[in-house]
Amino acid sequence: MYRTITLTLTAALLATPPPAAIAAGTPGMTGIATNESPLHMTQQNPFRTASTLSFQMPPFDRITDQSYLPAFEDGMRDALLEIDRIAGNLEPATFDNTIVALDRSGQLLERVSSVFFNMTAANTNAQLEAIELALAPRLAAHEDAIKLNAALFGRIEKVHAARSSGGLDAESLRLIERYHTDFVRAGARLSDADKSRLKSMNAQIASLSATFSQNVLKEINASAVTVDNLAELDGMAEADVAAAAAEAVSRGMPGKYVIALINTTGQPPEEVLSSRALRKRLYEASIARGMRGGPHDNRAVVLDLVALRAERARLLGYANHAAYMLEDQTARTTDAVNKLLADLATPAVANARREAADLQALVDAEKGGFAIAAYDWAFYSEKLRKQRFDFDAAQLKPYFEFDNVLKNGVFYAAGQLYGLRFSERRDLPVYHPDVRVFDVTDADGKPLALFLMDPYARSNKRGGAWMNAYVTQSRLLDLHPVVANHLNIPKPPAGMPTLLSFDEVTTMFHEFGHALHGMFSSVRYPRFSGTSVPRDFVEYPSQVNEMWSVWPQVLENYAHHHQSGAAMPPALLEKVLATRTFNQGFDTTHYLAAALLDQRWYQVDAGTLPTDVAAFEASALQNAGVDFAPVPPRYRSTYFSHVFSSGYSAGYYAYIWSEVLDADTVQWFRQNGGMTRKNGDWFRQEVLSRGGSVDPVGAFTRFRGHAPDVAPLLERRGLK
């Protein structure tokens, strides 16, 4: 199937090294030599044909680091041969011989790409990183060879011009329109000279994105905080202390404690550590990532990416990169996004300042003698939560054991809403012992999908949480979904239970919402499968699924003490629900600061480029009115993977944009009887199954009965 290859990162850099040089090992690329031909796969290569496992799940037991390059070589070659046949067809251009043929093409490349880029995110190593850096510009060049093919675009234009006279159904018409739009936006109408410059920029952007991502992972590992004295860990749960001790042992430092970082500015231990000095060390280690000098400093990478994307946007006829990206989203314009973020920023920061005053009063009452700082916020807000609601977040963890949350919470909710059933498979190969596989059966008893769960943090796994698809659904190709969720839960020492924070529980439900979007896909064409929707719509179904984490019927089913089995006391549940608008000034402001920073970077003009990352950040936050030191951005630029390496450039606003739809949808469920099969089936039919085959706002409007309304979101976040 022809689909844009999603590198862990996006798009484009430098001259393409010759295939033989890559296979043999070029200077600086030690470890990617292969015993297989650089041009052809052997008969034993696991990517050579479609997998024979259930739902064509990748045969991870047969895939080695040496499998990838030959498969990419053959995949790119075969795809271009298919494109040449389509473009050179002497028959008049038709929907079937041009558009459908294009959608069918590149299946080998899709097979190897879906595994490789998921492995570079979830289970990477030095060899895969070297391959990734080598492939990034080559895959960008491959993409350009298709989308800038004049003969191919000529045929697409002819089909597009005649689309209304072919008697095609709505999904087929949309496929024509989408391919035409994709090619035009990719530069198909540029002059040959401009196409040449575009190819060079695309190659550079791809390589820089790969470099950014790898630097982030290396900086996370290098920035872990070492603690010599157990007393400094006062406040940390016993299991977390044991995990820190185990991490120290794994790094050759027995007797010490190592606190690994996650890829957000704030670090979870800041909530519980009574040592202000250690909280400060954690915070300062976090915000210094990518800005400390040395081989993994990302400042130059950020500036180069911003400059290249700005220049590319101008070449393609747009004022800036944000304008280019937003044109193809539901937001459409920078004005629309700027207005939403600005409208939310003022009340959010006002709330955050009130919250800060409350925290400062608590510090002063304890005679702390200091002004509340960013690394104090989580610690004192938990104190205030406990004081105000007689509630300590640590009280929840014993009731949130991972397996119980997964099976009796996440899976249970999907069963009640959609009739799904889950059964664990232990006969299928996985890429890491912690990965689990589940058969998913639909309400009618028919197999629906395979679901993989990869829950634990690892040093070779990128931060955050995400969903990906190894196989995407398509009736055209008779494919059924194989989807996976990845989390970064600290793994407890052997024999100890995996107990989750409330945020981790919410994240599980969120990511499973993405998984449902992939599993419920019911489209004909691969181009539209699953989560192939605009970035500012893709978070909507996952955010809706979060509501079930605290739905009484669901919570009562999974929130049981991991030792006694006792249900969470109703009074504790009431406190959880009562605190849902607590700290919303902070939560909204630190998200908005990152979203506004993203827009400022990508709304710069190619003629007025920034030259200093820290200075630009400070100015952008000040101008947006969110420069409140106790509430820093959720991500600083040098570790903002969403927008510099993961496809969300100028798109981080999507979470709050999607939350408008989410809050409105939650209101609909409450008004229409809540967790019922009728409601679930309606949401599945109108939203989750459609993928990109329909206009997303139209899908929402058909489901909801009216256009999106922002009022439920303002009420939810205490901003009304």
The residues carrying an active-site annotation are: 511
Measured CA distances, 65 to 365, 487, 655 (Å): 59, 23, 35
- As separate numbers, helices (DSSP H) first and strands (DSSP E) second, the chain gives 27, 7
Q: Report the DSSP beta bridge partners of residue 259.
A: 225
Q: Which of 49, 39, 48, 156 has its CA nearest to residue 94?
A: 156
Q: Report the DSSP beta bridge partners of residue 424.
A: 438
How many CA atoms, within 13 angstroms, populate the side-chain half-sphere of residue 159? 31
Specify the DSSP class assigned to residue 17.
P
> If you write DSSP's letter for every residue of 384-425 in order, what string do you get?
HHHHHHS--GGGTGGG-BHHHHIIIIIHHHHHHHH--EEEEE
Measured CA distances, 380 to 231, 279, 374, 388, 717 (Å): 20, 12, 11, 12, 20
**Cα–Cα distance between 389 and 386 in angstroms, integer?**
5
**Cα–Cα distance between 342 and 107 in angstroms, integer?**
44
State whether residue 466 is helix, strand or coil: strand
**Cα–Cα distance between 458 and 26 in angstroms, integer?**
29
Secondary structure string (H, E, C) spanning 79-122: HHHHHHHHHCCCCCCCHHHHHHHHHHCCHHHHHHHHHHHHHHHH
Beta carbons of 656 and 592 less than 8 angstroms apart: yes
Beta carbons of 511 and 542 less than 8 angstroms apart: yes
Burial of residue 713, with CB atoms counted within 10 A of its CB: 0-12 exposed, 13-18 middle, 19 or more buried: buried
Q: Look at phi and psi of residue 583 and say left if phi exceeds 0, alpha if psi is from -120 to 50, else beta.
A: left
Q: Which of 235, 216, 220 has its CA nearest to residue 298?
A: 216
Stretch (H or E) spanning 181: helix 170-185
Q: Which of 414, 419, 533 has its CA nearest to residue 485?
A: 414
End-to-end CA distance of the chain: 46
Measured CA distances, 137 to 191, 199, 206, 314 (Å): 22, 9, 6, 21
Phi–psi pair at 509, nearest 5 degrees? -65, -40
Amino acid at 387: Q
**Cα–Cα distance between 611 and 720 in angstroms, integer?**
39
State whether residue 147 is helix, strand or coil: helix
Q: Which of 52, 110, 127 has its CA nearest to residue 429?
A: 52
State whether residue 569 is helix, strand or coil: coil
